[in-house]
Chain A
Amino acid sequence: MKLTLKVWRQQDPTSPGKFVTYEARDIIPEMSFLEMLDEVNEGLLARGEEPIAFDSDCREGICGTCSMVINGLPHGGQKATTACQLHMRLFTDGETITIEPWRARAFPVVRDLVVDRSAFDRIIQAGGFVSVFTGGTPDANLIPIGKPDADLAMDAAQCIGCGACVAACKNASAMLFVAAKVSHLGILPQGRVEKDRRVLRMVQAMDKEGFGSCTVTGSCEAVCPKEISLRFIARMNRDYSVSLLKGGE
């Protein structure tokens, strides 16, 4: 396969960036999208040019590191798939592919396709946890949790924190990410104790980072590699209003 790539190149956070066009030759369908970029980078290095910087780590779809918008779609838009799991068999010979970084004020570009997602960490630090200390916890089977609740919590807990929801949302909203954590912990009895405080603090942190708000378009759900449901956002909206009515913390 031969492809034309239009890739966003940006030296550092403050420099202006631009699209640069590259040819990708000898691409085979078994390659993953990132392996295709590896090949392009090998070619750039051989010519003494700087390779395209992009984030990736586990390359098996679970660490949430890879992050690029491929032809207008975060992670390339294949159902339940991260960029690292996207394979070239889905592209056609001669195609032009545009590759851009996540675009959001809260995710500044570090270089080329690499962005800084530490905003997500700060949101978790604001309240995305259960306040227990190590040790002194009761036996694990002391609190029975119904299978439906455990499964629902797991559905939410699967979030890999990649930020595709933010990248896809026309408002660069982080609601799906925040709602997934609020729901995961709020559904379980262990986390229900500090549910009100958690949701208030996490939403406050989210707003502070400069994410947009939810207009319920559903793009986030459509691109989420873990298929986190919009219903968790509804759940968070309810939790937030309940804790407001209770008078805050």
Chain B
Amino acid sequence: MTRMKLDSQIPSGPLAEKWDKHKFDLKLVNPANKRKFEVLVVGTGLAGASAAATLAELGYSVTCFCYQDSPRRAHSIAAQGGINAAKNYKNDGDSVHRLFYDTIKGGDFRAREANVHRLAEVSVSIIDQCVAQGVPFAREYGGLLDNRSFGGAQVSRTFYARGQTGQQLLLGAYQALSRQAGLGSVKIIPRTEMLELVVVDGHAKGIVVRDMATGAVSSYAGDAVVMATGGYSNAFYLSTNAVGCNVTAAFRAYKKGAAFANPCYTQIHPTCIPVSGDHQSKLTLMSESLRNDGRVWVPKQKGDKRRAGDIAESDRDYFLERKYPSFGNLAPRDISSRAAKEACDEGRGVGPGGLGVFLDFSDSIKRLGEDKIRERYANLFEMYERITGENAYQMPMRIFPAVHYTMGGLWVDYNLMSTVPGLFVLGEANFSDHGANRLGASALMQGLADGYFVLPYTIGHYFATNKVARPTASHAEFRAAEEAVRARIQKLLTIKGKRTVRSFHRELGRLVWDKCGMARNEKGLKEALRRIPAMREEFWSNVTITGSGESLNQTLEHAGRVADFLEFCELMCLDALTRDESCGGHFRTEHQTEEGEARRDDENFSFVSAWEYQGLDQQPVLHKEPLVYEGVHMSQRSYK
């Protein structure tokens, strides 16, 4: 395999002028020629739907795919809290530079500076775009947009639509996509999953998909492939992701030569509903906007089993306010999550199994009245009650951290193109903007920035500068890829072993949660790296899948995804082991300050890890993209 070279394509010039300059430097495609280019978009979340709609508006011929039964159901829909934008509508000192700085700092100085600055720049246009589409953002009585504050920021820059911001933004993008579908410029192919990337003469030229309803395996050829396939949180089995979210598409691309960057950067969200038992199929997140009005605490005494209301004020430890006085309950996600874990590790956790901390609204209810709290969070309180049977207006919520987002993803350059020319990666599926930790309300921003305002510019440049003819779907590479997909499905169906797919997934998830979760260390990671191959081997000899490949077979779908997680988790643990420092969501217990905070090692680890696949039993090759900061000074992250 050829040694890949990471060329980040960061434009020259001052940081704040890079994107404008780059937009001018990008080559254009003649409007009349655009329809000749076929773009395949995989995934229809915020990034995928916005990209597909915008590319179609520009005149490209677009086909888009999603595994859900409708593009509107992509998991972006579950984002609750909001979307950041540097509008400074509140006159509280926000600016593009401040949003940029907060994001870089929040990411613990492990994100690519130029991308983050561009993100902050286009954030402003996103809100304009969404409002024009009819997204019903919350308003003030005067008719102007309302904002709330969010974790990791000291300004109010978060736009929201009740507790369903992700839903409303996705529906906006979905409607734009539907409009194009109605006009015939986009073809939407739902209930279909991408199982292989097809590379012809070094360029991504198509995909192999399986129609999940009929089992038919087929190929689609295009001039470029855009993957907006989300993150890999479900590697942990229990996460806040939808049960269908998976790493398969990204992992197939990795195996076909796309570098995978920073797989160990995973985010643990502090405000999820605690696990209630082994039957649990997913974890439910509650927006961290709750932390605006809720106070996080645990009893001071170990093993204090009294009811929350019976614990006197003096016996409570508001640990976030105590440890981080200036940010308090709004400390960034990684810090809040770890602080909760520490409290539980000390035996001060609450609820079944001691895996939970209180999130208490009684002070806010006293101050603002129950109606105001109801107005802000009614749907979250209702959701909490449905799941736990408890009324959080009367007693504090119990929360615990859960895997929620993955900052790592396929490596992309400034143009969002992976190391495979013609393969573009957007949204959570790429690695680019959040470094080692993402701030709240920034995922929606990034997904829409990539889809509406970045890719539509950069993809044209690829077409204008790479005149590679589109092969037909009967090309030998497609045939071979289809055969590989069919063979793999056949292999899975013929194992007929004794263990269910779910039991493997659960075992794998528990292992990586323990060894590569909120806190990691060399010993644990090495143990995981030893156990995963054994687990994989057992999977391929002892998994049981009933039914056939010729119809809807959800067990088979799940098996294919778990098979990929079984390989991917090894890469994640390897990356975590190699990154011998702590940063953001990657907390190595060997590297912490006396106060237990993450200690970065900028001298040795100020780089992006990009892994190149070498074959199943070969160690992947690590490539390093150095991180150089012009606009900010790298500092110890402090939220005290």
Q: A interface vs B, CB < 8 Å?
A: 11-12, 28, 30-32, 34-35, 38-39, 42, 44-46, 48-51, 53, 55-65, 78, 80-81, 85, 87, 89, 110-111, 114, 116-118, 120-121, 124-135, 137-141, 143-147, 150-151, 153-154, 157-158, 160-161, 184-185, 188, 190-191
Contact = CB atoms under 8 A, between A and B. Distances in A.
Given A130-B132, A138-B128, A150-B137, 9 more contacts: A11-B551, A30-B279, A38-B502, A53-B554, A65-B73, A132-B129, A144-B139, A145-B143, A154-B138
B131 A120 contact: no
A42 B502 contact: yes
B175 to A, nearest CB: 4
A139 B284 CA distance: 35
B477 to A, nearest CB: 31
Query: Which bracket fits the contact residues of B?
Result: 35 or more
Contacts of B73: 57-58, 63-65, 161
B1 interface: no
A87 B129 CA distance: 39
25 contacts: A35-B280, A35-B281, A38-B281, A42-B503, A45-B544, A58-B73, A63-B75, A65-B68, A87-B386, A117-B69, A129-B179, A132-B129, A132-B133, A134-B53, A134-B453, A135-B129, A137-B128, A137-B132, A144-B144, A153-B134, A154-B136, A154-B162, A157-B136, A157-B168, A188-B136
B175 A62 contact: no
A48 B551 contact: no
A77 to B, nearest CB: 13
A93 to B, nearest CB: 17
Contact of A56 (B243, B280, B546): B243
Contacts of B136: 150, 153-154, 157, 184, 188
B75 A57 contact: yes
B456 A134 contact: yes
Contacts of A63: 68, 73, 75, 77-78, 242
B389 interface: yes
A32 B125 CA distance: 41
Contacts of A154: 136, 138, 161-162, 168
B500 A46 contact: yes
Contacts of B244: 57
Interface in B106-150: 125, 127-134, 136-145
Nearest to A158: B164
A121 B554 CA distance: 23
Contacts of A191: 134
Contacts of B129: 132, 134-135, 137
A134 B281 contact: no
B198 interface: no
B582 interface: no
A154 B181 CA distance: 25
A78 B546 CA distance: 33
A145 B139 contact: yes
B75 A140 contact: no
Contacts of B389: 87, 89
Interface string B33-50: 000000000000000001
Contacts of B13: none
A134 B551 contact: no
B429 interface: no
B86 to A, nearest CB: 12
A35 B276 CA distance: 12
A145 B141 CA distance: 9
Nearest to A112: B552
Given A11-B551, A57-B244, A63-B78, A143 B131 contact: yes
B65 interface: no
Given A38-B279, A62-B167, A140 B127 contact: yes
Contacts of A53: 552, 554
Contact of B190 (A80, A118, A161, A185): A118
A50 to B, nearest CB: 5
Contacts of B281: 32, 34-35, 38, 59
Given A50-B547, A57-B242, A124-B174, A116 B69 contact: yes
Most chain A beta-carbon neighbours within 10 Å: one of B179, B284, B544? B179
B555 interface: yes
A49 to B, nearest CB: 6
Contacts of A46: 500, 544
B179 A35 contact: no
Nearest to A63: B73
Interface in B224-247: 240, 242-244
Interface string B539-553: 000001011000110
Contacts of A128: 175, 178
B213 A134 contact: no
Most chain A beta-carbon neighbours within 10 Å: one of B87, B213, B282, B382? B282
B31 interface: no
A145 B276 CA distance: 43
A49 B383 contact: no
A35 B70 contact: no
Contacts of B175: 124, 128-130
A34 B284 CA distance: 14
A62 B453 CA distance: 27
Nearest to A125: B182
A64 B164 contact: no
Contacts of B500: 42, 45-46
Nearest to A61: B383
B279 A150 contact: no
A161 B132 contact: no
Nearest to B212: A110
Given A51-B546, A125-B182, A188-B134, A117 B143 contact: no
A127 B179 CA distance: 7
Given A81-B386, A141-B145, A150-B136, A50 B72 contact: no
B312 interface: no
A26 to B, nearest CB: 9
B285 interface: yes
B69 A55 contact: yes
A14 to B, nearest CB: 11
Nearest to A146: B143
Contacts of B68: 57, 63, 65
Contacts of B176: 129, 132, 134
B69 A48 contact: no
A161 B70 contact: yes
B54 A125 contact: no
Q: Which 9 pairs, one residue from A and one from B, show the smallest C-beta to C-beta distance?
A: A144-B143, A129-B175, A137-B132, A125-B182, A140-B131, A150-B139, A57-B242, A30-B276, A154-B136
